[in-house]
Amino acid sequence: MMTNQGKRRFWKGLAPLAALMLAITACSGGGTNGSSDAGTSQANEENGKLRDVSVVLDWTPNTNHTGLYVAVDQGFYEKEGLNVTILQPGAGGADQMVASGEVPFGIGYQESITQARVQGVPLVSLAAVIQHNTSGFAAPVDRNIHSPKDFEGKRYGGWGSPVEEAVMKSIMDQEGADVSKVEKINMGEADFFTAVKRDIDFAWIFYAWTGIEAELRGEPIDMLYVNKYSDNLDYYTPVITTNEKQIADDPELVKSFMKATAEGYEYAIDHPSEAADILIKAVPDIDPELVKASQKWLSPKYQDDAKQWGWQKPEVWKNYGDWMSSQNLLEGKFDSTKAFTNDYLPKG
């Protein structure tokens, strides 16, 4: 999950998604990691060598990404003939790197893929990392925010995205509350804990990281999960991404990568403590106490009530796209059937 800074950077990155088409066009003559390396891949397989493959994160490493680190550490990728490198996102973000073919795989979000598809950017979701949306509006308990109605007269810390107000308005409307009575404040670079002590009353967080951190700090919060107020807001965040060209040019790479990735997340589901240790070992400067507590909370939620890890339901994609359209957040028609696929998940 993202930190507040990461969520802010993510939403700012949605506005210029159309610029990705320029990057895609510029790269079209050279091919992606999948297409340009096809011959090399075959030669490597014949010689018993591993194929170098990269996957780019959405933000700094956290427990959303544990399955990737497990798949590296436990040799699941190696078993599939892959030498996988986990990268930090560049200035343009993970979506741009994946859409342009700079890297074949990344971590993204249903929100950004929905925006991208209507702008002609060929991102595709291969798997839901977490089956249900674990984000919501959080406030220290002393602010007495127990329902969306209580947002009135309070200070919300955000980053100025139209989606923020649309989500807030949609859940406040259900209780006859007025979103215009919420004071919106740009949080800048402040994190949640700094901001609520100084400038704001509540913010939008992911519980598996910021919520767990609040528990460890002994700073209790009230949490209003957005998916409790609307099925349309129970979207997939985050997801594993690729692009259409990668799938068309090298479906076997996609299949192999996803088989090993699924094994990594299944291991993290079954062995949360050991998986946390693997992430801590791979990222030495991460907070080990937070990782262990977050992993314990999050591991059961990776698959949750789905028939297997990563499975994506058509109605989840359609419902969220319909909601975004109803809020005038999309600048075109969204075809949900092209935005995701379950075809590369391991067969049960």
pLDDT at res. 341: 98
Q: Does 348 fall in a domain?
A: no
pLDDT for the residue 159: 86
**252 domain-assigned:** yes
347 domain-assigned: no
On whether both 218 and 271 belong to a single domain, the answer is: no
Give the predicted TM-score (pTM) of the model.
0.89
Q: Tell me: do 100 and 142 sit in the same domain.
A: no
Domain that holds residue 289: 4-131+235-338
Sequence-distant (≥ 6) Cβ neighbours of residue 208 within 8 angstroms: 1, 63, 64, 130, 134, 294, 297, 298, 301
- Whether 246 and 108 map to the same domain: the answer is yes
Neighbours of 75 (CB within 10 A): 11
Determine, yes or no, domain membership for 344: no
Task: Say if residue 181 is in the same domain as residue 240.
Answer: no
The rounded distance, in Å, linking the Cα atoms of 179 and 347 is 46
Which residue has tokens 């949080």?
187
CATH number at residue 271: 3.40.190.10
CA distances in angstroms from 223 to 92, 152, 207, 231, 273, listed in the order given: 31, 16, 8, 17, 25
**Full DSSP string of 207-245:** IIIIIHHHHHHT--EEEEEGGGT-GGG----SEEEEEHH
- Shared domain for 24 and 170, answered yes or no, is no
Is the same domain home to 193 and 291?
A: no
Residues 24 and 46 in one domain: yes
59 and 97 both lie in a single domain: yes
pLDDT in tens, the chain (348 residues): 444 445 554 444 454 455 555 444 444 433 334 444 444 444 455 557 999 999 999 999 999 999 999 999 999 999 999 999 999 998 889 999 999 999 999 999 999 999 999 999 999 999 999 999 999 999 999 999 999 999 999 999 998 888 999 999 999 999 999 999 999 999 888 899 999 999 999 999 999 999 999 999 999 999 999 999 999 999 999 999 999 999 999 999 999 999 999 999 999 999 999 999 999 999 999 999 999 999 999 999 999 999 999 999 999 999 999 999 999 999 899 999 999 999 999 986
Give dist(CA 304, CA 110) in Å, integer.
Answer: 18
- Which tokens is 278 given? 């693997």
Q: How many CA atoms lie within 13 A of 275 on its CB side?
A: 28
Helix, strand and coil percent figures for the chain, each rounded to 5: 50, 15, 35
Whole-number pLDDT of residue 203:
97
What was the pLDDT predicted at 47?
55
Q: Note whether residue 63 is domain-resident.
A: yes
In degrees, to the nearest 5, what angle opens at C-alpha 303 toward C-alphas 346 and 169?
125
Domain closes at, from 191, 207, 233: 233
The verdict on 82 and 157 lying in the same domain is no
Q: Answer with the one of 233, 255, 284 that is the final residue of a domain.
A: 233
Number of folded domains that form the chain: 2
Cβ atoms of residues 83 and 299 within 8 Å: no
At residue 335, the pLDDT reads 97
Where does residue 35 rank: exposed (0-12), middle (13-18), buried (19+ CB within 10 A)? middle
Q: Which two tokens stand for residue 157?
A: 């810390």
φ/ψ of 239, rounded to 5, equals -135, 165
